[in-house]
C-alpha cells in the first residue's frame, strides 16, 4: 500500500465519522427540542403563571437568526425558574437562576462559534489554514462536549424540580 491508499482510507473514515456525528447531532437536537417543549408544558401544568415563552416558541427561537443567540437561553431559564418546587405560581419570576445555566449557554455559544471558524478555515483550501482548522476543530469539539455535559445537567435539574413539584401537588 502506498501513501495514497492510506490517505484514501483515512479520508473515508473521516467522512464516515462526520456523517455519524451529524446524525447524532441531529437526533439529539430533535430530542432536546421535544423535551424543551414538554418541559414548558409541564411547568404550566404545575401551576406557573405569567410565563412569557410558549411551548412552541421555546422551540421556534432556536431557528430565528440573531434571536437564537439569547432567546433559547431565556426560555430554558424561565422553565427552570417556573419549575421550582418551592415557588408559588408567580414568585418564581424573582428567583435567581443557577450559574449552571450560564455555563451551559456559554459553552454552547463558544462551541458553535469555534465550529463556524473551523468550517470557514477549512473551505479556504490552503494547507496551513486546513491545519489551523483542525486545531480549532479540536477545541470546538472539546467545548461542545462540555456543552453537552452541562446540557444534560440542566435537563436533569429541570426534570428533578418538576418531579418534586408534582410530588408536592399530590
pLDDT attached to residue 11: 77
What total of structural domains would you count in the chain?
A: 1
pLDDT attached to residue 125: 77
pLDDT attached to residue 128: 87
Domain limits for position 161 = 3-169
Q: What gap in Å lies between CA 20 and CA 15, rounded to an integer?
A: 9
Q: What is the mean pLDDT of each run of 10 residues along the chain (170 residues)?
A: 64 85 93 98 97 98 98 98 95 94 98 94 86 90 96 98 87
Dihedral angle sign, alpha carbons of residues 140, 146, 151, 152: positive
Long-range contacts of 11-16 (CB under 8 A, 24+ apart): none
Q: Taking each helix axis from N to C terminus, what angle separates 127-169 and 99-122, rounded to the nearest 10 degrees?
A: 150
Cβ count near 53 (within 10 Å): 22
pLDDT attached to residue 41: 98
Amino acid at each position: 500500500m502506498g501513501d495514497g491508499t492510506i490517505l484514501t482510507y483515512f479520508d473515508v473514515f473521516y467522512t464516515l465519522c462526520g456523517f455519524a456525528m451529524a446524525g447524532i447531532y441531529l437526533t439529539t437536537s430533535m430530542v432536546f427540542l421535544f423535551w424543551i417543549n414538554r418541559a414548558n408544558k409541564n411547568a404550566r401544568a404545575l401551576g406557573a403563571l405569567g410565563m412569557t415563552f410558549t411551548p412552541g416558541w421555546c422551540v421556534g427561537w432556536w431557528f430565528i437568526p440573531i434571536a437564537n443567540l439569547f432567546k433559547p437561553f431565556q426560555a430554558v431559564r424561565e422553565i427552570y425558574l417556573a419549575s421550582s418546587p418551592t415557588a408559588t405560581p408567580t414568585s418564581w419570576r424573582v428567583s435567581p437562576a443557577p450559574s449552571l445555566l450560564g455555563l451551559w449557554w456559554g459553552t454552547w455559544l463558544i462551541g458553535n462559534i469555534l465550529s463556524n471558524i473551523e468550517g470557514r478555515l477549512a473551505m479556504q483550501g490552503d494547507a496551513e489554514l486546513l491545519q489551523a482548522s483542525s486545531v480549532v476543530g479540536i477545541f470546538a469539539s472539546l467545548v461542545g462536549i462540555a456543552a453537552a455535559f452541562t446540557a444534560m445537567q440542566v435537563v436533569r435539574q429541570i426534570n428533578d424540580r418538576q418531579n418534586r413539584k408534582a410530588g408536592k401537588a399530590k
